[in-house]
Amino acid sequence: MRRTLVAANWKMNGNKASNEALLDAFKKGFDGSADTAIFPPALYIPQLAESLKGTDIAFGVQNAYFQESGAFTGELALSMVKEFGCQYVLIGHSERREIFGETDALVAEKVAATLAAGLIPMLCVGETLAERESGVTETVVKTQIDAVLAKVGIAAFETIVVAYEPVWAIGTGKTASPEQAQEVHAFIRQLLVAEDAAVAAKTRILYGGSVKAASAEALFGQPDIDGGLVGGASLIADEFVAICNAAQG
Ligand code: 13P
């Protein structure tokens, strides 16, 4: 009942020419077996809107602010994001949390504002290596999810997509094993089940962290892994096409 969703997080990479090449190759190779969304740097959103017109490939921004307008230099309002045809907003990526100091409270504000704007939040959670090694993975993930639950309530998780991205697996080549990932995905789903089982059964929980074509099928085959959020491999057309096509619907 949960259709696989594979998302590309291009992070701060690309240029007009390389984006066009990547999008063209993706449009040619993608077999439609999953839902897909692409998160380019925000300046390239109009380029994606044009290129993806008439396809089912969605796109969104990697970050936005929760205030409606005003003196917030450098930020993007959700109304602006919507005006340019985005469907998704990536929120609380570990790079935003670590490098830009985003707190659970700010992340929860952004999720609420994204929902209010009629957009889909893709909420990232995940533990660092030190946290995993000290055995607090579940506590960390629960705290991150609870902050959002407290702000928007369980019903919002029919819309929200959760992305579990262990920080130690991001950009390191160290993919969590399918079993390791499934364990945390099942834990996240249980957190939601405790609030409302019917909603929890609908929430898509994606895995992110060094997903490659070679690992995608085994990851997506786990019962609580509903797709992937792909960084580095999403910049390589053949790899990303193969990851998307590994989805079984
Ligand atoms: P990598 O796939 O490069 O590990 O990045 C994962 C990620 O951070 C996606 O948001």
Q: What pLDDT digit, counting tens, does each position of 13-41 carry?
A: 999 999 999 999 999 999 999 999 999 99
Check 131, 165, 185, 239 and give the catalytic one.
165
Q: Give the class (CATH, top level) of 5-245.
A: alpha beta
Q: Distance, CA 232 to ligand 1 centroid (Å)? A: 6
Would residue 165 show up in a list of annotated catalytic residues for this protein? yes
Residues near ligand 1 (Cβ within 6 A): 9, 93, 165, 170-171, 208-211, 229-233
Neighbouring C-beta atoms of residue 96, cutoff 10 Å: 18
Which of 167, 215, 229, 239, when mutated, tests ligand 1's pocket best, judged by the most ligand atoms within 8 Å of its CB? 229
For the four alpha carbons of 198, 123, 34 and 59, in that order, the dihedral sign comes to positive
The per-residue pLDDT for range 226-241, each reduced to its tens digit, is: 999 999 999 999 999 9
Task: Indicate the domain borders of the chain.
Answer: 5-245
Would residue 93 show up in a list of annotated catalytic residues for this protein? yes
What is the helix, strand, coil percentage profile of the chain, to 5? 50, 15, 35
Q: Which atom of ligand 1 is nearest to the CA of 170?
A: 4
The per-residue pLDDT for range 112-164, each reduced to its tens digit, is: 999 999 999 999 999 999 999 999 999 999 999 999 999 999 999 999 999 99
Nearest residue by C-alpha to atom 9 in ligand 1 = 231
CA distance 176 to 169: 6
- Cβ atoms 74, 97 nearer than 8 A: no
The pTM score is 0.97
